[in-house]
Amino acid sequence: MNLFAPDYYVKSFKTLDLQKLHENGIQLLLCDIDNTLVAYDEAIPNQDVVDFVEKLKKNGIEIALCSNSPNVRGEEFGKHLSVSNVYTFACKPFPFCFKKAMKDHGLKANQIAILGDQMYTDILGGNIWGLYTILTAPIAIKDRNITKVFRFFEELIYGYLERKNILKRGEFDD
C-alpha cells in the first residue's frame, strides 16, 4: 500500500457516494474544512456544506470536522453545522485527531473515513492510522502559504502515483 494513495478519489464532497461508505462499514466521516468544504478564506459553511452534513446524518453517518486550522477558525465554522465534534489544530498527519475521534465516538479506525484535499496531511495521516481515506480535488487554487509548500511536494507524489498507475489526477472514482 502506498501511504499517499487514497482509498477513494472524488471531484468534490458533493459527489461522494454514501453507498460506498456504507459498503466499507464507515460510521464516522472526519472532514477537513479548508479547500475540502470551502475555500480557506470563507468563514462560514455555504448551503452545499449544510446540505451535505444533513445528507450524511440522514443516511446514518456521523460527521466531525478535523482541521489543521486554528481553534477560532474551526470552532466558528463548526458552530454553523450539526456535527458531532470539531477537532481544530489537529496537526494532521499526526494521530491526535484520529485517536481522539476513535475514543469520542467509540469506534475503531476501520469504521472512520477522512475526507480531505491534501495527500501530506489528510491521506497520509488517515492511511498511517488505518482510516478509510478519501481525497478530493481542492475547491480553490488559492492556499495558505504553508499549504503551498505541501502542494509543491504533492506534485511529486502525483507524478509518482501516475507513473505507477495508482492514481491519475483528475480521473476520479465518482
Mean pLDDT in order along the chain per 10 residues (174 residues): 92 96 98 93 94 97 92 90 93 90 97 95 95 94 64 83 91 88
The grid coordinates listed for 86 are 470539531
Separation of alpha carbons 169 and 101, rounded Å: 29
Separation of alpha carbons 14 and 77, rounded Å: 18
Q: Does residue 95 have a cis bond before it (omega within 30 degrees)? A: no
Among residues 56, 16, 54, the alpha carbon closest in space to that of 36 is found at 16
Q: How far is CA 89 from CA 104, 126, 163, in A?
A: 17, 16, 34
What amino acid is encoded at 67 in this protein? S
Separation of alpha carbons 90 and 122, rounded Å: 10
| pLDDT for res 89 | 87
| pLDDT for res 145 | 61
| pLDDT for res 4 | 94
Separation of alpha carbons 79 and 85, rounded Å: 10
| pLDDT for res 17 | 96
Q: How far is CA 172 from CA 7, 64, 84, in A?
A: 11, 24, 29
Total-model pTM:
0.92
Separation of alpha carbons 169 and 158, rounded Å: 7
Separation of alpha carbons 106 and 128, rounded Å: 19
Sorted by sequence, the CB contacts under 8 Å of residue 105 that are 6+ apart come out as 27, 28, 62, 64, 84, 85, 112
8-163: what fold? Rossmann fold (3.40.50)
Count of beta carbons in the 10 Å neighbourhood of residue 52? 22
| pLDDT for res 40 | 82
